[in-house]
């Protein structure tokens, strides 16, 4: 399964970067260096800032990514993952130039938000737990909550250290992919 491979690559890259921190310079997304190192738009998705960042992202990716891959197949899943992450990273670069904040970005969050967006369309009644809510909610409600939080915190990205624009752009990309796939599916997952 592609999702397991992606999780494995992320874990391997994190372990390697602990022993070779200079990889961060080459594989993180530096908005002002993107034209000289364009591969960063992809490699940054497989890098993570610290162990908590890695564990949270890999937990969410494992759960939702496996579910989506089983639903749409490995090829379509990989396309959703990569394109959502790339669009999220392009949005981050654009936002960096608009705000003058050229801090590097790492993580699979844009791709993960794309996966959640696709699931919100393809399997809208899927129940998920959103901390600290005490009851499961539909993935659509969860996605709406996450989008609202990111919209509210977007102007504070420098303070939060979170690429909120990447989340939002990845989510929108996933919603679009979800709608395109839903319209072509014979069996609806309601």
The catalytic residue positions are 109, 167
Query: Which tokens hold the place of 149?
Result: 């939080």
Residue 63's Cα: distance from chain center in Å? 13
| CA pair distance 133, 126, nearest whole angstrom | 16
Do 64 and 119 meet the contact criterion of CB atoms below 8 Å apart?
Answer: yes
The Cα-based distances of 91 to 26, 98, 142, 160, 168 in angstroms read 20, 10, 22, 17, 9
Contacts of 122 (CB under 8 A, 6+ apart): 68, 71, 72, 178, 181, 182, 185, 189
DSSP character for 105? B
CA 157 to CA 137: how far, in whole Å? 27
CA proximity to 123, closest of 72, 58, 56: 72
Residues 119, 88 contacting (CB under 8 angstroms): no
């Amino acid at each position: 399964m592609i999702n397991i491979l992606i999780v494995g690559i992320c874990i391997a890259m994190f372990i390697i970067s602990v022993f070779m921190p200079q990889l961060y310079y080459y594989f993180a997304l530096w908005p002002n260096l993107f034209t000289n190192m364009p591969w960063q738009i992809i490699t940054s998705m497989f890098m993570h800032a610290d162990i908590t960042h890695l564990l949270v992202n890999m937990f969410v990716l494992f759960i939702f990514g496996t579910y989506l891959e089983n639903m749409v197949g490995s090829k379509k899943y990989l396309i959703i993952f990569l394109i959502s992450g790339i669009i999220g990273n392009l949005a981050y670069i654009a936002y960096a130039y608009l705000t003058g904040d050229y801090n590097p970005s790492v993580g699979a969050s844009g791709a993960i938000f794309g996966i959640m967006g696709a699931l919100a369309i393809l399997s809208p009644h899927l129940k998920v737990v959103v901390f600290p809510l005490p009851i499961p909610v539909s993935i659509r409600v969860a996605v709406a909550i996450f989008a609202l939080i990111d919209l509210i915190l977007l102007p504070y990205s420098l303070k939060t250290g979170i690429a909120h624009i990447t989340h939002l752009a990845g989510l929108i990309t996933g919603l679009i992919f979800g709608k395109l796939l839903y319209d072509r599916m014979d069996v609806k997952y309601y």
